[in-house]
Amino acid sequence: MEFEYNLLTSLSSLVFSIVIVIFGRKLLFKLPKLKETYVHNKQENHRKLQSKRDKYSGRLSSSNKIALATNVVFFIGILPFFITFESQSVGTIALHSFLILMVYDFCYYLTHRFLFHGQGYFRKVHGIHHQARTRVSSVDSLLLHPLEVFIGIALFFTVIAVLSLLLSSPFQVATIVITTLIYTQINQINHTRIDLDGCGFPYNLLNWIARSHDAHHITMHKGNYATITLLYDWLFGTLEPVDQPEQLAATAATPASEENSKIAHGVTAA
Ligand SMILES: [Zn+2]
Ligand SMILES: [Zn+2]
């Protein structure tokens, strides 16, 4: 199968992904519990940016710039060769999406465990991200060394390109949209301050996802290296339990305020 350059298809996948995120967030944040979480997370971001200005200053804008540049190179220079509007069956799209995410997660697991938590230069690079200790909030997803921003995103894109070459087939635009959404949103949830204890499904799942990555942030010696699922941590014996004493202490030190609950439920001060 020949690979043709399809810029319009590539940019379409980007636009679809952005539109789904914007409208999806608008819709989901209408749910009081998620709005409460959004407000509390934002409040935590603000508190950290005020009290630890030196740690965060410069990192956030540099992370955004590197992420933007890496995405521009991928969506204009690389993805157009590996994407198509030609129809593929729902089964094929589901299988391709699963394959991309699982292969990426395995590559990320190895990179995170052996490169970022190894003994060389990249341990220092990753140490910037680990300045964020439990409990993390969304601003911590940008507390990164520029090299780590590039490696994280480039790894995802490389997996897409290599798998497409191995399968001798470009991926359907829906496959790219699905995998991009899952990859970006789970990375975001991993770094969101979520306190939805005792709220039942699906809130307990969000709680567990966020607290699992948060457990990794307790020290540089904790497991939970994977980012999409914790399957590889479970397989290779690096799975960390959630709600460890350090997490519970940090939660108690910065509880969600009653004010958040009022804001989320639309109750304003008289
Ligand atoms: Zn780490
Ligand atoms: Zn993290």
Confidence at residue 255, expressed as pLDDT on a 0 to 100 scale? 86
Confidence at residue 270, expressed as pLDDT on a 0 to 100 scale? 39
**CA-to-CA distance for 76 and 213, rounded, in angstroms?**
32
- For residue 84, the cross-strand partners are 172
Residue 215 Cα to ligand 1 middle (Å): 10
Residue 107 Cα to ligand 1 middle (Å): 14
Confidence at residue 57, expressed as pLDDT on a 0 to 100 scale? 82
Residue 260 Cα to ligand 2 middle (Å): 25
Chain-centre distance for alpha carbon 216: 14
- Give the DSSP per-residue string, 110-127: HIIIIIITSSSHHHHHHH
**CA-to-CA distance for 110 and 55, rounded, in angstroms?**
27
Residue 71 Cα to ligand 1 middle (Å): 23
Residue 111 Cα to ligand 1 middle (Å): 10
**CA-to-CA distance for 19 and 61, rounded, in angstroms?**
23
Q: Which residue has the tokens 């230069």?
A: 121
Q: Which residue has the tokens 């979520």?
A: 194
Per-residue pLDDT of the chain (270 residues; tens, 9 = 90+): 678 999 999 999 999 999 999 999 999 999 999 999 999 999 999 999 999 888 888 899 999 999 999 999 999 999 999 999 999 999 999 999 999 999 999 999 999 999 999 999 999 999 999 999 999 999 999 999 999 999 999 999 999 999 999 999 999 999 999 999 999 999 999 999 999 988 899 999 999 999 999 999 999 999 999 999 999 999 999 999 999 999 999 999 988 766 666 665 665 443
Residue 13 Cα to ligand 2 middle (Å): 26
DSSP state of 154: H
- The one-letter amino acid code at 106 reads F
Residue 130 Cα to ligand 1 middle (Å): 6
For the whole model, what pTM was predicted?
A: 0.92
**CA-to-CA distance for 225 and 86, rounded, in angstroms?**
36
